[in-house]
Amino acid sequence: MTKPPAPPKPRTLAAQALGDIEPQTKGIVPPVHVATTYLRDPDNAYSSGYVYGRPDNATVRQAEGVLAALEGAAAAMLLGSGMSAATAAVMALPEPGHIAASQVMYWGFRDWLLREAPRFGHTVEIVDTTDLDAVRDAVVPGKTRLVWIETPGNPLWTITDIAAVAQIAHAAGARVAVDSTVATPVFSRPLALGADLVMHSATKYLNGHSDVIAGALATATPDDPWWARIGELRARHGMILGPFEAWLLLRGLRTLDVRVRAQSEAAALLATWLGHHRGIERVLYPGLPHHPGHAVASRQMTGYGAMMSVQVHGGEGTAIEVAARVRLWKRATSLGGVESLIEHRASIEGPGSPCPTNLLRLSVGLEDPEDLYADLDRALGGSGT
Ligand SMILES: *Cc1c(COP(=O)(O)O)cnc(C)c1O
């Protein structure tokens, strides 16, 4: 007897978008399902399972299926942006309570937590989640409802121990959500480490081509009332991703694995080269052995990703000048696309940001790393190797 074949690996499933064939034409690329409404059967049923476009869409479902396979999740949900995914998760909490959130995280969501979440009755505490004692102090049994972590955390690429935080939170009856945008499902599977919810700005690596704004959530337990409530809010508030965006995202997901592996390899080279550059004070990249999160990252990730930051000698003025002098790197916010981006991060985060003013954030794309280094070296005034 022959052994049954091993189930296909996530990379295989994604490359073929789960292998779905369009039944009418046998097209191996799915169409975009644009209908907003569906025909009712003569017996008054909806045998296709689709009724209206605000709660549900077939193209969205298809992309959700691929993402769920990549995350090792039982279900995934796509929303109009990363922010709508993150905020829906908070708004769907069963009751108001205490929320503990990573100190180093996407500034837009930290700002929302501090300014908008209290309007829903929550109290929000910003915690250094890389410090497990600080997490233990912050999480109060019966009071804390949610621990929100971002790892690697923007823009210092701090690493939070997902399994350890999940243990602390669960012991106190709190849920754990992980913004895994930067890690991607290629390098990290937060659900397997004990997280209750994974969130992505699908605008970034999942789509990967800087042409879609999208957000995603994934769960291991779709019968969780929290998950059901997120779905209800998505439908009621009209937060579902549009079908064209979902189709582009599906196309992007097919190449996620090769893209992020190549980007991560290039990032590791650049981190090493820039670490020896005279114009650079410090390189922040979890793949470097001296990065404070290196040991935890090595344990919970299978790659270090393609985001890094550099602190330049000479302060804020020099940092802004260096960003002004690059030619190949694009001076722009966002991350995770095939083109490399450079950003003076403190300029966009504003007051209250933990971001050093001499910091430049680098999103490493798919260009040749030697070209990327040469451009940075020139912008730094040479003297690299
Ligand atoms: C971009 C980003 C977000 C916000 O996502 P949008 O798609 O822009 O709404 C959240 N978290 C991280 C880590 C991000 O990089």
The pLDDT value recorded for residue 350 is 75
Nearest to 267, CA basis, from 381, 169, 362: 362
State in Å: Cα 207 to ligand 1 middle.
Answer: 12
The pLDDT value recorded for residue 385 is 58
Residue with tokens 């009751």: 95
- Measure the CA–CA gap between 205 and 182, rounded to whole angstroms: 7
- Measure the CA–CA gap between 10 and 374, rounded to whole angstroms: 35
**Ligand 1, atom 1: closest residue by C-alpha:** 201
State in Å: Cα 380 to ligand 1 middle.
Answer: 29
- Measure the CA–CA gap between 30 and 21, rounded to whole angstroms: 7
Kindly compute the dihedral angle of the four CA atoms of residues 208, 148, 196, 174, in this order, to the nearest 10 degrees: -170
Query: What class is the 10-253 domain?
Result: alpha beta
Q: Which atom of ligand 1 is least distant from the CA of 181? A: 13
**Ligand 1, atom 8: closest residue by C-alpha:** 82
**Ligand 1, atom 12: closest residue by C-alpha:** 106
- Cis, peptide link before residue 190, omega less than 30° from 0: no
Residues in Cβ contact with 294 at an 8 Å cutoff, skipping those fewer than 6 apart: 159, 286, 287, 288
Q: Which atom of ligand 1 is least distant from the CA of 109? A: 10
Name every protein residue with a CB atom under 6 angstroms from any ligand 1 atom: 81-83, 106, 108-109, 150, 154, 179, 181-182, 201, 203-204, 213, 215, 335
DSSP per-residue letters across 48-61: TS--BTTT--HHHH
Q: Which atom of ligand 1 is least distant from the CA of 215? A: 7
Phi, psi of 72 (to 5 degrees): 65, 35
Antiparallel, parallel or unpaired: β 175-179 and 144-150: parallel
Domain boundaries, the chain: 10-253, 257-379
State in Å: Cα 81 to ligand 1 middle.
Answer: 8
Q: Angle formed by the axes of helices 369-379 and 315-325, to 10°?
A: 130
CATH code given to domain 257-379: 3.90.1150.10
Ligand 1: residue of 84, 102, 103, 109 to mutate (most ligand atoms within 8 A of CB) is 109
The pLDDT value recorded for residue 382 is 80
> Which spans in the chain are helix H?
10-15, 58-71, 82-91, 107-115, 132-138, 162-171, 184-187, 225-237, 243-254, 256-275, 294-300, 315-325, 345-349, 369-379
**Ligand 1, atom 4: closest residue by C-alpha:** 82
Ligand 1: residue of 90, 112, 181 to mutate (most ligand atoms within 8 A of CB) is 181
Antiparallel, parallel or unpaired: β 280-284 and 307-312: antiparallel
State in Å: Cα 315 to ligand 1 middle.
Answer: 27
CA-based end-to-end distance of the chain: 60
- Measure the CA–CA gap between 190 and 260, rounded to whole angstroms: 17
Nearest to 290, CA basis, from 302, 298, 278: 298
Residue with tokens 């025909």: 39
Q: Which residues are catalytic?
A: 54, 106, 179, 204
State in Å: Cα 104 to ligand 1 middle.
Answer: 13
The pLDDT value recorded for residue 383 is 67
The pLDDT value recorded for residue 4 is 84
State in Å: Cα 204 to ligand 1 middle.
Answer: 7
Strand order in the sheet with 359-363: 280-284, 307-312, 359-363, 341-344, 330-331
Helix and strand counts by DSSP (H, E) for the chain:
14, 12
Cβ atoms within 10 Å, residue 373: 20
Q: Whole-prediction pTM value? A: 0.97
Per-residue pLDDT of the chain (385 residues; tens, 9 = 90+): 678 888 899 999 999 999 989 999 999 999 999 999 999 999 999 999 999 999 999 999 999 999 999 999 999 999 999 999 999 999 999 999 999 999 999 999 999 999 999 999 999 999 999 999 999 999 999 999 999 999 999 999 999 999 999 999 999 999 999 999 999 999 999 999 999 999 999 999 999 999 999 999 999 999 999 999 999 999 999 999 999 999 999 999 999 999 999 999 999 999 999 999 999 999 999 999 999 999 999 999 999 999 999 999 999 999 999 999 999 999 999 999 999 999 999 998 877 778 999 999 999 999 999 999 999 999 999 866 5
